[in-house]
Amino acid sequence: MTQTWDINGAEISSRLFLGTAGYSSLDALRQSIESSTPGLITVSLRRENAAGKGQSFWNIIKEFDIPVLPNTAGCYGVEEAITTAEMAREIFDTNRIKLEVIGDDYTLQPDPYGLLLATEKLIDKGFEVYPYMTDDLVLAQRLVDLGCNILMPWGSPIGSGRGLNNIYALRQLRERFPDKTLVIDAGLGAPSHAAQAMEMGYDAILLNTAVAKAGDAPLMAGAFAKAIEAGRAAYLSGIIAKQEHATPSTPLLDKPFWHQEKS
């Protein structure tokens, strides 16, 4: 079932984008990548000392022939996010940037105003912006107006495991932006959450904590990969409409005793 697909001109092998943070060990991370073969791997930047603590992580990621999606995680300001993106572009040699401009400490909700300002500047600088956003329809339209071909609304707050908090808003985004790539980013806990989003027609799922903090991360990574494939297949197959009454699945015509005359 797995087929390559196109995201902004790049051929991607899977609809799962996997985060690399919070695993119990680098080996658990490596096994999770192996068991799920994600289409993109998200990475970040942190201060480096001369001992080179970040180099061993990067050596593992390089073992896989999977494109990376750097993020600006932890940025609360526009200029900070832009500088981080520029550093990420040089280190990871890609124009892709998962743009996070956080506006609230407690929910890690993106700052929509900062997100728009940073998006505009980064697109001007040649970046391919993957905006981490709320499910707000008008914000989505403004991002598209700026040139975003990809939108990444949250399912729910990062790491919360709550799944899709606002089904209505997420359906609206899918219906209103049929030609844009929509990726659910953040808040998923169970593979069924991912399948639900894919059944709604979302193009991909980005997740991290649900895998990294699972009891068996590699096993959970594989479970998410299967759920995403299943949800995509279901969407393409055409899910039946809900109805209020029962319809027998077994034909009743000529069943034994069918309309038998009473003696």
Q: Does 75 bind another protein (CB under 8 A)?
A: no
Helix/strand/coil (H/E/C) assignment for every residue in 170-238: HHHHHHHCCCCEEEEECCCCCHHHHHHHHHCCCCEEEECHHHHCCCCHHHHHHHHHHHHHHHHHHHHHC
Task: Compute the distance between CA of residue 165 and CA of residue 157 in angstroms, rounded to an integer.
Answer: 9
Contact segment (CB under 8 A) with another protein among 112-120, 141-149, 193-201, 205-213 equals 205-213
- Report if residue 67 touches another protein, rule: CB under 8 A: no
Distances (CA, A) of 119 to 97, 99, 124, 193: 10, 8, 8, 28
Select 44 or 119, whichever has its Cβ closest to another protein: 44
Mark 4-43 with x for binding to another protein (rule: CB under 8 A) and - for no binding: ---------------xxxxx-----x------------xx
Shortest distance (Å) from residue 49 CB to another protein? 7
If the CB atoms of residues 36 and 71 are measured against another protein, the closer one turns out to be 71
Give 55 or 237: the residue with its C-beta nearer to another protein.
Answer: 55
Amino acid at position 35, single letter:
S
CA distance 204 to 39: 9
Which of 92, 127, 224, 235 touches another protein (CB under 8 A)?
92
Distances from the Cα of 21 to the Cα of 45, 67, 115, 258, angstroms: 11, 16, 23, 63
Write each residue from 163 to 202 as x if it is in contact with another protein (CB under 8 A), else as -, in one continuous string. ----------------------------------------
Q: Given the complex with another protein, which of 81 and 142 has the nearer CB atom?
A: 81
- Closest approach, Cβ 109 to another protein, in A, equals 16
Structure tokens at 178: 């049929």
Interface with another protein (CB under 8 A), residue total 39
Contact between 123 and another protein (CB under 8 A)? no
Q: Which of 98, 180, 213, 255 is catalytic?
A: 98
CA 17/CA 35 separation, integer angstroms: 13
3-state secondary structure of 142: helix
Active site residue 226: no
Q: Give the C-alpha separation, 260 to 60, whole Å.
A: 72
- Our CB check for another protein shows the closer of 23 and 235 to be 23
d(Cα 169, Cα 216) in Å, to the nearest integer?
A: 32
Q: Which 124-163 residues touch another protein, going by CB under 8 A?
A: 158
Interaction between residue 102 and another protein (CB under 8 A):
no
- By CB under 8 A, name the one of 3, 6, 25, 52 that touches another protein: 52
- Are the beta carbons of 41 and 60 closer than 8 angstroms? no
Give the binding site for another protein (CB under 8 A): 19-23, 29, 42-50, 52-55, 57-58, 61, 70-71, 73, 79-80, 83, 86-88, 90-92, 158, 207-209, 212
